[in-house]
Structure 1
Amino acid sequence: MATLSYNPSKLRNHKPQSHKPISSLSKPIKIPFSSSQFSTLYPSKFSKLRLNSVSESSVSLPTNQPPLTSASENNFNEDEEVDDDPTSEVSYLDSETDPENIIEWELDFCSRPILDIRGKKVWELVVCDGTLSLQFTKKDSIFQVANADNYNKGLQELGIKPVPSKRCLSLLLWLEERYETVYMRHPGFQVGAKPLLALDNPFPMDLPENLIGEKWAFVQLPFSAVQEEVSSLEERFAFGASLDLDLLGIEIDDKTLIPGIAVASSRAKPLAAWMNGLEVCSLEADLAKASLVLSVGISTRYVYATYKKSVATTQEAEAWEEAKKTCGGLHFLAIQENLDSDDCVGFWLLLDLPPPPV
């Protein structure tokens, strides 16, 4: 497996040590990972939900529902035990957060594994920001297509552009937490209900020509180098995306090697710009078909690259996937002008996160 060497004093000095065509791979090596270096915890803000109770005879908010209120305005004490009624709604804004500074929302509108008292399927709108400083829910039993159209129309009227994406990690983790603390405890909970995201996993399509690179390699970087690469994105005006690892509760030793994919192209900047227009979610090695699969948006999957299947290449792909699992799904995509380049034109920090059970 190719590696990225790293000079702690200068980020630009780390670079791939191999140069290979997109249809071939280097000799695999064993990756020395330790599972004890990684742990995942729920964000502490999950304990700060501001709950507004509603009648047990209804799963919808009253029409005169008050606007979002901060914890300080309601004399909310974080040390006090919050209302744990699973039929309650959430309307919370952190008292230290200026709502004018929240420029991106993470939103999900979908059916939940619960029925209302009339036996009708319950749909729920869940909204938060990337730091969970804003949290809001609203349940409904009206036909979902009409509501989805209304929400889209409302967003358009407000000048808000919805972007389908699975990079809403705060939202996904919150939904996972709500499944255990809210939906499973709801009197109308349906045991065995299947999550929609898990069902929507189509076969990968051919990669558009404008996203095709010229060469690629399985690579790895020390976690400290990954952090510096991400922190320099804005300084260098490079293309890419980061993740809030502190919020996600991810703790990794600085020396731990993070697996990634390095792609080289003589048109690296246009390639990175096109890639930046996608909501890049994750990369995975399909061992059976000797290929890499790129997931973007909600359910779009592309055959990102292929390689000649052999014992050696299969072992390398297996080692890369095993390294990714050991890091809790953390990996990256780097785009360079060539695989010996000192700099990355684009860098995306990615995370394999199982879909929430709703």
Structure 2
Amino acid sequence: MMAQIVWQADFYRRPLRDAAGQTLWELLVCDLTRTVEFVALCPQSQVNAHWLVEQLQHVADKMPDTIQVFRPQSLSLITAAGEQLGITVEATRRTDALKQWLQERSSLYRSMDNYTGEAYDLLTLEKPPPTPLPEKLWGEQWRFAALSAKDVEEAFQERPIPILNMPPALMPLQLGLASNIAIPGVIIYGGRQSMRLARWLQEANPVSLNYIAGAPDGLVLEAGLVDRWIVATFEDREVSTSAQNYEQRKQQSKGLHFLLVQPDNSDITFSGFWLLRQD
């Protein structure tokens, strides 16, 4: 079976203007190793899917199977171009190669003659305030937990879990974590809503689950490209201490953590398991 060809792409306005004073949009396309890198500039008046289709056909000899996109403002145009070319477009925050390239290019614009002088951050996306989970999905209980990296690798892959999301890139071994490192996580006991909650989470596309100190403290799920959901709030000092330990463990596990949804604490049936990583 041939390996899938995956590109990562960004198409959005930059702090640049053309000779006519029009804002310029920049298309960046790379593969996962940045062996392929492609750059094209487009005046704002010409920004459309047709222009993108033409450019994508010049990136490399072989078209990709998938184009990954992290910026919401780029998604609809690249998706439209992908449909015309028969390419799957995947919305994901995990575009590490592209983000590294964008970081490197950030200082480049300032040296260009057509730089507008405006402050510009290529990677920061505007995120809405977190929204409470729909009430019908609330689980009955939840708790912090931890598993060894070895258990994460072995315990869930062989189990008949309806929704299992363990991307190879997030496996502890792939991240270079020792087998005895504790991987922190959150377990939600969903009761009768367990499967419904798991299906909703899968559709939401979880990225990371973070402790946010406040009044009250809370757990916020980062999902999709910019979505944020309040999973739980709490004022109990003991729970807050556990939450701080959870965040400390995340630092030791290179940001890797997990979310497990199950009906109850019998550990017989599981509804969904996700490996997550703070981006």
Query: Deviation string for 1:189-215 (max 9, x for gaps)?
Result: 788844365351221012124532221
Equivalent residue, structure 1, for 2:64 = none
Distance 2:201 2:17 in 1: 43
Report the Cα offset of residue 183 of structure 1.
Answer: 4.5
**The one of 201, 204, 210 aligned to 2:127:** 201
Distance 1:190 1:330 in 2: 39
Q: Taking structure 1 as reference, are residues 259 and 158 closer, same or farther at Cα in structure 2, changes over 3 Å only? A: same
Structure 2 unaligned spans of 5+: 49-73
Is 2:100 the counterpart of 1:176?
A: yes
Distance 1:247 1:217 in 2: 22
Equivalent residue, structure 2, for 1:141 = 42
Is 2:80 the counterpart of 1:153?
A: yes
Distance 1:302 1:197 in 2: 21
Q: Taking structure 1 as reference, are residues 191 and 213 closer, same or farther at Cα in structure 2, changes over 3 Å only? A: farther
Report the Cα offset of residue 177 of structure 1.
Answer: 4.0
Equivalent residue, structure 2, for 1:256 = 181
Tell me: higher relative CO, structure 1 or 2? Use CA pairs within 8 A at least 6 residues apart: 1
Is 2:67 the counterpart of 1:165?
A: no
Q: Taking structure 1 as reference, are residues 315 and 190 closer, same or farther at Cα in structure 2, changes over 3 Å only? A: farther
Q: How does 1:1-358 map to 2 (within 5 A)?
A: 98=2, 101-102=3-4, 106-112=8-14, 115=16, 118=19, 121-128=23-30, 131-132=32-33, 135-143=36-44, 146-147=47-48, 150-158=77-85, 162-166=89-93, 168=94, 171-180=95-104, 182-185=105-108, 187-188=111-112, 193-195=119-121, 197-229=123-155, 231-232=157-158, 236=160, 238-243=162-167, 244-245=169-170, 250-267=175-192, 268-288=194-214, 289-307=216-234, 309-353=235-279
SS in structure 1 opposite 2:265? coil
RMSD, aligned α-carbons? 3.4
Which structure has the highest helix share of the two? Answer: 2
Q: Taking structure 1 as reference, are residues 134 and 269 closer, same or farther at Cα in structure 2, changes over 3 Å only? A: farther
Report the Cα offset of residue 152 of structure 1.
Answer: 3.6
Question: How many equivalent residue pairs?
Answer: 246
Distance 2:79 2:152 in 1: 37
Report the Cα offset of residue 326 of structure 1.
Answer: 2.2
Q: Is the 8 A contact 1:291 1:306 kept in 2?
A: yes
Which structure has the highest strand share of the two? Answer: 2
Q: Is the 8 A contact 1:205 1:303 kept in 2?
A: yes
- TM-score, normalised via structure 2 length: 0.73
SS in structure 1 opposite 2:245? helix
SS in structure 2 opposite 1:252? coil
Q: What amino acid sits opposite 1:330 in the alignment?
A: L
